[in-house]
Amino acid sequence: MDTTATQISSYEKTLFEARTSDGHLIRHDIYRRGAGAPIVLLQELPGIGQETLSLADELVNAGFEVVMPHLFGPLGKTSIGGNLVRVMCLRREFWLMSSDRSSPIADWIRLLCREVRDQRSAKGVGVIGMCLTGNFAIQLIGDDSVLAAVASQPAMPFFKQGALHMTPDDIRQSRDALDSKGPMRLLRFEGDPLCTKEKSECVHRAFNDDGTTRVQEITIPGKGHSVLTLDFVDVAGHPTRAALDNVIQYLSSHLNLV
């Protein structure tokens, strides 16, 4: 992506704190920029680096407000190894290995989505989750505050690709919501080692098993991972560029921008 991304210093910074359903008080800084329908952009494991800031620029230029929680790691640069250690230390927020249940941080993000919707007097928000936050987008579409969701390379639980980081109740709520909201988007590289074909098949079994497309998958050729950030190629006709254009059109239509 373009290295001249708008830097984090140009964002409005606030603090959001909320108590999750398990009783833990979680607080994180929130960075906002833009005007229009709100998109909650969830960082991936490498962090809020230049590529994520460039993705935020794409969304702002398309007419959205970007609401970006800072969940872990340094700002403005990527740190995959360091951030993995940081996330593993956030055991009250992230349950990296859990299947059939979600991380407490997903509950906090749900409360953030509701707060943003109410603050902006909007019908609802869009959500983009990537890598370890990708599964959260699938869960959050089940909430009334979320009108559109994009799961880019959803990877959790990391070492159990044939399972989802969601409870059976979460799956039912999201299925019901997608029946009325229309199919969400799932993005992945065909040869992704972290979001594998097995993960894709698991999502389709959970949501598209009866012939109804609730999760529309866009598969990119090759062995990349980060469809919208580190492996994004901003060239007309490139599959990642086409995927981002599809995402923007989807978000625009569901958030009443077109």
Instruction: Give the chain's mean pLDDT.
Output: 93
User: What pLDDT, in 10s, does the model give residues 109-165?
Assistant: 999 999 999 999 999 999 999 999 999 999 999 999 999 999 999 999 888 999 999
Model confidence over 53-68: pLDDT tens digits? 999 999 999 999 999 9
Give the pLDDT band (50/70/90) at residue 248. very high
Is pLDDT of 199 > 90? yes
pLDDT at 258 over 60: no
pLDDT exceeds 80 at position 3: no
DSSP letter for each residue of the chain: --S-PPPGGGSEEEEEEEE-TTS-EEEEEEEEEESSEEEEE---TT-B-HHHHHHHHHHHHTTEEEEEE--SS-BSS--HHHHHHHHHH-TTT--TT-SSS--HHHHHHHHHHHHHHHHHT-S-EEEEEEGGGHHHHHHHTTSTTEEEEEEES---STT-TTS-SS-HHHHHHHHHHHHHH--EEEEEETT-SSS-HHHHHHHHHHHSTTS--SEEEEEESSS---TTTTT---STT-HHHHHHHHHHHHHHHHTT--
Q: Does domain 8-254 have CATH number 3.40.50.2300?
A: no
* Mean predicted confidence (pLDDT) in 8-34: 95
- Give residue 172's pLDDT band: very low, low, confident or very high (50, 70, 90): very high
Read off the pLDDT of each residue in 186-206 and give the average, rounded to a whole number.
97
Mean pLDDT of 236-254: 97
Over pLDDT 90: what percentage of the chain? Answer: 83
Q: What is the pLDDT of residue 1?
A: 44
